[in-house]
Amino acid sequence: MVAMLNKTIDTARLRTFVLLCAVIAIDKADQILLPAVYLEVCNEFGAGPAALGMATCWRGIVQSIVALAVGPLGGRYDRVKLIAMGCVFWSVASLFVGSATSMRTLVISRALNGVGIGLVIPLVYALVADLCPANLSGRAFGVLNFANNGGAALGGFLATQLADTDGAVAGWRLVFYSVAVVSCATAAVL
């Protein structure tokens, strides 16, 4: 799919586009993690689905508010740097989720995660629109959507496979640590 875009986009733009696809895939993987490990988190904290639903709800609320505020920033500052900052922010918040010692800290950490994700998503779409010529924008957004859905599928699959593993670190925690490392590494190469 990316090869279709390669014919008319210069190498630097193509590299940026591929990294943006990685960012959007990791973002979606991160968003799907908590629902994929609900059972293990409920068991560890003695919480019910309603408490975990609150964590997802607060992440979504914060993400939506931040996304509304990002527009003016994207017009004033370097979008790539803002996206990298958002990736680092959500990476740190994911580390906090994995390190949570109570449902309260998990909910707060997940809400903080919404800050990073809310910063990233609108800027990724705006930057892709800027990178691609009008005649390729449909393809570009199709590839971006493919990456988004692929991230959800891969994140959900890996989270459910690792969630109940026992070791030095509980599997569900390892999932959040892993996404944190990958998102921070992606920010570094942006």
67-103 burial: b if 16+ Cβ within 10 Å, else e: beebeeebeeeebeebbbbbbbbbbbbbbbbbebeeb
Identify residue 111 by its one-letter amino acid code.
A
Residue labelled with tokens 């973002």 = 27
- pTM (predicted TM-score): 0.89
Residue labelled with tokens 């914060």 = 62
Identify residue 45 by its one-letter amino acid code.
F
Residue 5 has pLDDT above 80, yes or no: no
pLDDT single digits (tens) 78-125: 999 999 999 999 999 999 999 999 999 999 999 999 999 999 999 999
Residue 8 has pLDDT above 80, yes or no: no
pLDDT single digits (tens) 119-169: 999 999 999 999 988 898 999 999 999 999 999 999 999 999 988 888 788
Tell me what the mean pLDDT of segment 35-40 comes to: 92
Average per-residue pLDDT for the chain: 91
Residue 2 has pLDDT above 80, yes or no: no
**CB neighbours (10 Å) of residue 8?**
13
Predicted pLDDT at 122: 95
Nearest to 20 by CA among 174, 92, 126: 126
DSSP letter (8 states) at residue 10: -
DSSP string, 87-155: HHHHHHHHHHHHT-SSHHHHHHHHHHHHHHHHHHHHHHHHHHHHHS-GGGHHHHHHHHHHHHHHHHHHH
4-8, 26-30, 89-93, 161-165: which has the minimum mean pLDDT? 4-8
